[in-house]
Each structure stands twice: as structure tokens, then as C-alpha cells.
Structure 1
Amino acid sequence: MNQNLADELVTMVTKDQRLLQQLFDSGELPSESYHPRMQSLHEHNASRLKEIIGGHGWPGISLVGEEAAKAAWLVAQHSVSDHEFMAECVGLLEDAVAREDVAGWQLAFLQDRVRTLSGKPQHYGTQFDVDENGWPTPFPIEDSTTVNERRALLGLNSLEERLEQMTEQERKRRANIE
């Protein structure tokens, strides 16, 4: 295992999550536009992940361990300024899932994010919007009748279970506000 690489990936995500929390705490997020500080950090992290991939391939569990492999996925997930790179990462994750070198849910989330950002229906139902009343609702899903079969293949619970979890989180959030 490459511990230095693992530490670097985890540090990248720690900084990402710290900045995200700071922006929420200061009231700067949520926002209608991409916050410039968040965008800058995401672009910096994506650039570094490209270098890592160029030198080592996808940083999966065998290379960096489970926590850092998840960190690499999150950097790719947050690379929204570079859709082409995100799409490349989907292909790399497909190969890594086939080798059992990353968790399948990582592929589901990234592939759905790439598709929804491109205006296409998602495959796994991992990406949610909110309805007119502020309740979670999944973005459109391609072939929704078999979505739970696809979700199960990658280790996800059913769409109905996930929707209930997200609805409960929103209920709790609303209860804390009142």
C-alpha cells in the first residue's frame, strides 16, 4: 500500500469537508451558484487526482486502502467543473469495481452524477432533487422498473428505502429548525 498517497487523498477530502462546513456555518452555502472558494478547492483536488491516476491508475483499495479509495471517489464526485474528467473516472471505477478494488456504490453515485449533470436519466437513483415542498425526490431514472436490481448489484439498498432515509433526514432537519 502507498501510505503517502493514501494520506494525501484523505487530507484532500478533509480540507474539502472542512471548507464545506465553514461555508455552511457562515451562511455562504447553500447558494444558487458554485461558491468560488469551493470551486477552487475542487478544481485543485481534481488536478491532483488526474496526476495520481496518470502515475498509478485509479487509487483503489489495493493501492491506498479503503478510506483513501473513498476519498479519491469523493474528489472525482466533486469535480463538477470538469465533466469529461468525471466521465473518465466512471470508466476507471467500472474497471475497479470489476476487480473488487472499490465499493460498487462509488460507481453508482459517480455514474449517476455524470448522467444527471449531462441532463440524462440516472441508472441507480442516487441523485436527488427536492420537490416544490422541499422534500427529496430522485432525478429521473432510466428504466425505473429495474432500478432496485441495479442498485442491489452494487451493494445499495432499494430506492424506496433510500427515499425514506432521506425523507426522515429532512423531517429531523425541519424539526430542529422549529
Structure 2
Amino acid sequence: MTTLFSTMPSAVAPAPAADQAVQDSSPSLPEMLIAWSARDEALTARSARLPGVAYWLREVAAARTEHERALVRVVNQHGWPSVDLVGDEAATAALRILLHGQDHAFLLRCRDLIAAAVEDGACSQVHLAYVVDWCLVRLAQPQLYATAINPALGRPYPVADPDGLDTRRNEMCLPPLAQELARHQTRRLAS
């Protein structure tokens, strides 16, 4: 479909095609995950600077859908892209793609895959904390680790047992919440 904006040059470099076939042990898999995540981040930053511009919001949504579909194919072929498979940076990029997706069933499936990878020492506990929290938030339940931040308020979505929060965060290798919120606020002000 051609629209007025479909011919606009994009200031965000295109990521490798998300529908590109993913080969076993492909040396480009980590680069693709990182590129997809970087594209999402760049589009999101641009849409935040231009609030109310529906075109950019649609572009972000379309990119996130494309990247999520590609991640589904990666997971179907390789399992969760753990640090052992793709390296730390690409594993974190895969997590970002997952958390920005809309397929809740896929999120729950990946939560279980990430939990198994954590038990095997192939994935960071931090990644598990993030995916557990997003699953809970999307189910309208209090989160456990306060990793899901309400962007409008700059505060975490509701948290279960707030008194034990920093203990739980420490067990998952996360910094205390106050430190994380200060870092989040600094990032918000810088953008």
C-alpha cells in the first residue's frame, strides 16, 4: 500500500530483513538481533521527540511486529537466543524485542524458555526478572521485581510485597529500585 509517507526517506537505517531466513549457527544471527533492537530504539526515540505524529507511531508498531515475527522464527528454529548461542549483547537485544512485542502467548512461552536457560547457566537472571514482570503486568497482576516502568509516570507498575522488593531484586542481580529509578530518570531527561 502506498501512502503519502511511504515515499519519505527514513532517517533510521533499515535493519536486516526480519523475514530473512535464519540459518543454523548463522554468524549473522547476533548482528540481526542487535540491528532489529537498535532500529526499534531509534524509531521509538524519534517518535518520542515528535509526539502526536501518527506516522512515526505506526512505523514503530510495524517495526515491532516485524521484529517479533522474526524472533518467533528464531525461537522456533534455535530456542531462546541465550548468551551461549548469540552472545550477551544479542541476547539482550532479543529480550528487548520480546518485551516490545504484542503476542502474549509468545511472551509466556519465552518466559519458560528463559527460565530453563537461567537454570542451565545460559541466560542472565536479569532477563528472567524482566520477562516475569512483563508477563505479570500484561495479566494486570503486581510485578515481582519492578522492572516494568510506566513511561507516563516514570514509576514502576504495581509491585507485589514492596517491603521485600529490594531483596528479590538483589536475588536476581538487579540494583536497588531507588538506584534504578535514578538511572531511568537520568535517561529520560537526556532524551
108, 117, 120: which one aligns with 1:99: 120
Instruction: Give the paired residue count.
Output: 166
CA distance in 1, matches of 2:49, 2:73: 32
Which structure shows the higher helix fraction? 1
CA distance in 2, matches of 1:135, 1:52: 34
**Aligned in 2, Cα 1:78/1:135: closer, same or farther, shift over 3 Å?**
closer
Matched, 1:14 2:38: yes
- TM-score normalised per structure 2: 0.76
More deviation in 17-26 or 50-59?
17-26
The one-letter amino acid paired with 1:88 is R
146, 149, 157: which one aligns with 2:167: 149
**Per-residue deviation, residues 45-87 of structure 1 (Å, max 9, x unmatched):** 11111111111111111111111111111110111x2111111
**Aligned in 2, Cα 1:138/1:14: closer, same or farther, shift over 3 Å?**
closer
CA distance in 2, matches of 1:70, 1:46: 14
What is the CA distance between 1:121 and its match in structure 2?
A: 0.4
CA distance in 2, matches of 1:59, 1:160: 30
Matched, 1:120 2:141: yes
Cα RMSD after superposing both structures: 2.5
- Which position in structure 1 is the counterpart of 2:177? 159
SS of residue matched to 2:150 = strand
- Which position in structure 1 is the counterpart of 2:86? 64
Unpaired runs of 5+ residues, structure 2, are 1-24
The one-letter amino acid paired with 1:92 is L
Report % sequence identity: 24
**Aligned in 2, Cα 1:23/1:164: closer, same or farther, shift over 3 Å?**
closer
The one-letter amino acid paired with 1:20 is T
CA distance in 2, matches of 1:164, 1:10: 26
- TM-score normalised per structure 1: 0.81
